[in-house]
Amino acid sequence: MGIKIIGSGSYIPSAVEKNEKFSDHEFFDSDGNQFSHGNEVIIEKFKAITGILERRYADPKLNSSDLGYLAARKAIDDAGVDPETIDYIIAAHNFGDVKHNTIQSDVLPCLAARIKHLLGINNPNCVAYDILFGCPGWVQGMIQAKAFIDAGIAKRCLVIGSETLSRVVDKHDRDSMIFSDGAGATIIEKIDGDSGILSHENASYTTEEAYYLYFGNSNKKELCRDTRYIKMDGRKIYEFALKYVPQAMKSCLDKSGKSIKDLKKIFLHQANEKMDEAILKRFYRLYRTEVPEHVMPMSIHELGNSSVATVPTLYDMVAKNTMENHRLEKGDVIMFASVGAGMHINAMVYEC
């Protein structure tokens, strides 16, 4: 028996925020000093490093739980299952529901409960809860769902990653250009056969690394000191990811019993184009081989970094054949991997 994805869905907001929209922002460094060079230079350097040309922002009327519901609804329809038969709903996020033009996070009730409510599921034995695990949250939710099914306490689980990061960014910080909104969801259950989730790997580094991503003040010092925004030490995150993520991916693949030559696709968290490319090269270097062409689909150029939503959204796009040069066939071996706040790392090998 295997534990397999039987349906997927994603919600990509329609509002496109191009890099040019940031040309009139006031950007300051972490010490509160305005940059001497113009925003055109800042934007050009940003594009060269991250690969991001544009990103998506949620409609002001929609919150993260709404995006999660819309992705979940698509996954349920794709799977063709009765939502009343879902045993667990696991919602990964970082900041809960943050209403447009507000600064307060709302997680009461939890997002999973809100999504269950929106889905109209009446079954009280469908347990809904949230998971806070940084950007790797959706992959971690999949790992937990697999554990429930392996333990015999669940037969079918809905795992969601949803975020509206555009509402927690400091518009005076260059890093604000990275973040975006979106949601992705999958339904998994036990099926006949040996395919499905083959192995997983996860780790938490919380000594020096714990606060590489954190909540902090605006770079514009005269703004309210009690208002906090998502902040990160990009250089340290980059170095951390290159040191630890490739090894975690290798450990996961080795545990799966599959060869590096078996891997058809690698779905990496869409954090930064240069970082993802460097992670991939180091991973293949561990096997003394070159990176195959078209092995790593990327959505960051148009969708930006939507945290927990990037991996399930990317998977859904490829599964639905909406990305050029990328498709999945029955029997394909793929890998999911992510790194993010905590600092957390995880990976999962899956056979379609």
Q: What is the pLDDT of residue 114?
A: 98
**Residues 322, 347 within the same domain:** yes
Q: Which of 193, 223, 250 is the last residue of a domain?
A: 193
Question: What pLDDT is stored for residue 30 in this prediction?
Answer: 85
Nearest to 20 by CA among 1, 3, 40: 40
Query: Coil, helix or strand for 112?
Result: helix
Instruction: Note whether 29 and 175 are same-domain residues.
Output: yes
Residue 161 has pLDDT above 80, yes or no: yes
Start-to-end C-alpha separation, the chain: 14
Separation of alpha carbons 76 and 52, rounded Å: 31
**pLDDT for 104:** 85
Percent of the chain residues past pLDDT 90, beyond the cut: 81
SS3 content of the chain, % helix, strand, coil (to 5): 35, 25, 40
pLDDT given at position 40: 84
Both 202 and 189 in one domain: the answer is no
36/298: higher pLDDT: 298
Residues 37 and 134 in one domain: yes
pLDDT at 327: 92
Read off φ and ψ for residue 82, nearest 5 degrees: -80, 120
Parallel/antiparallel/unpaired status of strands 15-18 and 196-204: unpaired
In percent, the amount of the chain with pLDDT more than 70 equals 100
Structure confidence by residue, pLDDT tens digits, 324-341: 889 999 999 999 999 999
Domain count, the chain: 2
**Residues 305 and 269 occupy one common structural domain:** yes
CATH of the domain at 308: 3.40.47.10
Domain co-membership, 188 together with 221: no
Provide the residue range defining the domain that includes 305: 197-351
Cβ neighbours, 10 Å, residue 165: 27
Same domain, 15 and 73: yes
90, 202: one domain = no
Distance CA 265, CA 336 (A): 9
| Residues 94, 123 within the same domain | yes
Cα angle: 267, vertex 47, 68; to 5 degrees: 45
Nearest to 168 by CA among 214, 199, 212: 214
326 in the same domain as 229? yes
Token pair, residue 125, equals 């034995």
Q: How confident is the model over 253-304, as pLDDT tens digits?
A: 999 999 999 999 999 999 999 999 999 999 999 999 999 999 999 999 999 9
- The pTM score is 0.94
Domain boundary among 158, 178, 193: 193
Q: pLDDT tens digit string along 172-212?
A: 988 888 999 999 999 999 988 778 999 999 999 999 999 99
Claim to verify: residue 35 and residue 123 sit in the same structural domain: yes
Which of the listed residues 150, 165, 193 is the one where a domain comes to its end? 193
Q: Are residues 43 and 150 in the same domain?
A: yes
